[in-house]
Structure 1
Amino acid sequence: MANGTRVLAAGGVVWRREADELQLLLVHRKKFRDVSFPKGKLDPGETFAEAAVREIEEETGIRSALGPSLGVVTYHLPSGREKVVEYWSVGATPEQIAASTFTPNKEIEALEWVALDDARDRLSYPVDREVLAAFEELIDADGLHTFPIVLMRHGKAGSASVDHERELTERGQEQADAAVGALRAFGVRRILSSTARRCQQTVAPLAATLGRRVHVSDDISQDAFERGEDDPSTIIERRVEKGKPALVCSHGPVLIGLMESLAKAAGTKVTSELRAAASLSTGSFTVVHVSRSGGIVAIETHAPFEERRPA
């Protein structure tokens, strides 16, 4: 997708374990006669995250969920236009690889799995080696084997005489619909919501798309928070114990407690950065990547209708 003078794109470093060796997937592009990581331009209205998953599948036949972000690279095309590409770490299971129906085509003539040590020499461009360096930093941080816990604030809501009966406005419904693609990109399967109607409405589009039920709890409602009876720790501890991708939709005042509980359950110090990542605008969400060996590896915040520009 082009945005003024910029071209927006997304991709990933797809990796696997083969006989105890870490290998990366490189694509050989026929038109440009180069070797790179799979990536491609955003479609109109698409987020970086959902574009990354779609482009990886289109170029390699492998569909997998996103892990931690590897950041953004920026460079200029021969035309002079600026290209902005965001990358994620993407672990591919043997089943996902076996399910690939990739065949050489006019865009990608071959796929190649290479050892990590060989990837730097195989890549055609310095900018891809920057991405590789970020991936190696993720390895050093024990960040390959993670699962996401997503904290989301409900979409924009109207007024009502009883707080928990407030419903999404038209804007709020648009926010809920717009979040589905990005939430799916991170492999969310378990969906938890406050008992408030606006929270349940916010996660309803995702639940319908995935064919999953919404698990509702008063422990993370604003009413319980105002009564001093909320219990975010029990909800979060259970999700960390399970170690599976989950979405928790709640309210502004409750999200800080959810984040603090998540940090403690993961064995990470509660910091101002984590608290700030829980201070969300309506319809926004923060993905917290939790290492399976303990600790929070990375966080990233996504806002609806806006282009996300990570630092």
Structure 2
Amino acid sequence: MTTTGLVRAAGCVLWRPGRGLDGAPLEIALVHRPKYNDWSHPKGKLKRGEDARSGAVREVREETGMECELGPALPTARYVVDGRPKEVRYWAARALGGVFEVSREVDRVVWLGPGAAREWVTEGRDRVLVDALLEVLGVGA
């Protein structure tokens, strides 16, 4: 994939310690985007001059209402959208707190155990990120 016309984006696999509802050691936040009717990890395009880490934190805040602490880098997703290459850099991010508010871009946020999160995400590349999060945190599913 060439970098000509490359769309740069960043996001996080946002997590918090499990709340005991299904016995999962942690919960992962997924966002629903009504425009695409999909479930994914919070992510978005970088603003001009914005570095990927700052963009990832901003997107989490904008899409979930959560402040977060970035952890290890996760695999970068590369794919084509509308004929243009897109690169999304991801990090593991622990949720520190906040309040979700519905927006034009995201109308729902759910917190799910890893197994359920794998089932809910729309794209296979997002399932890979769930597994990568568990690996870097040293947590079993």
TM-score by length of 1: 0.41
Find the residue that maps to 2:83 and give its secondary structure. coil
For 1:27, the equivalent position in structure 2 comes to 31
Residue pair 2:18, 2:113 contacting (<8 A) in 1 also: no
Q: Give the structure 2 partner of residue 16 of structure 1.
A: 16
Match of 1:122 among 116, 120, 123: 120
1:84 aligned residue: 87
| 8 Å Cα contact 2:39/2:120 also seen in 1 | yes
Which residue is equivalent to 2:79?
75
Report the Cα distance in structure 2 between the residues aligned to 1:18 and 1:133, rounded to whole angstroms.
16
SS of residue paired to 2:133: helix
Aligned to 2:105: 107
1:43 and 2:47 correspond: yes
**Where do residues 221-240 of structure 1 align in structure 2 (5 Å cutoff)?**
none
**Runs of 5+ consecutive residues of structure 1 not aligned to the other structure:** 143-311
More helix by share: 1
CA drift of 1:84 comes to 0.2
Larger fraction in strand: 2
**Structure 2 regions of 5+ residues with no counterpart?**
none
Residue 4 of structure 1: how far off its partner (Å): 3.4
Compare relative contact order (CA 8 Å, sep 6+) and give the higher one, 1 or 2. Answer: 2
Q: Output the CA distance in 1 between the equivalents of 2:19 and 2:83.
A: 44
Q: RMSD value over aligned CA atoms?
A: 1.4
- Whole-Å Cα distance in 2 between the matches of residues 7 and 87 of structure 1? 14
One-letter amino acid of the structure 1 residue matched with residue 107 of structure 2: E
Question: Superposition pairs for residues 267-278 of structure 1, below 5 Å?
Answer: none
CA–CA distance in structure 1, aligned partners of residues 40 and 119 of structure 2: 11
How far the C-alpha of 1:121 sits from its partner, in A, is: 0.7
Counterparts of 1:86 and 1:56, CA distance in 2? 13
How does 1:180-219 map onto structure 2 within 5 Å?
A: none
Q: Per-residue CA shift, 1:29-58, capped at 9, x if unaligned?
A: 010000000000000001000000001100
Q: Distance in 2 between matches of 1:10 and 1:32?
A: 18
Deviation per residue, 1:132-182 (Å, 9 max, x gap): 221122133x6xxxxxxxxxxxxxxxxxxxxxxxxxxxxxxxxxxxxxxxx
Q: Which runs of 4+ in 1 moved over 4 A?
A: none
Deviations 1:240-260 (A, max 9, x none): xxxxxxxxxxxxxxxxxxxxx
Q: If you compute each CA radius of gyration, which structure gives the higher value, 1 or 2?
A: 1
Give percent identity, aligned residues only.
38
Q: What letter matches 2:57 in structure 1?
A: V
Q: Distance between the aligned counterparts of 2:19 and 2:63, measured in 1?
A: 25
TM-score, scaled to structure 2: 0.88
**Equivalent-residue separation in structure 1 for 2:95 and 2:89 (angstroms):** 19
**Which secondary structure state, in structure 2, belongs to the residue aligned with residue 46 of structure 1?**
coil
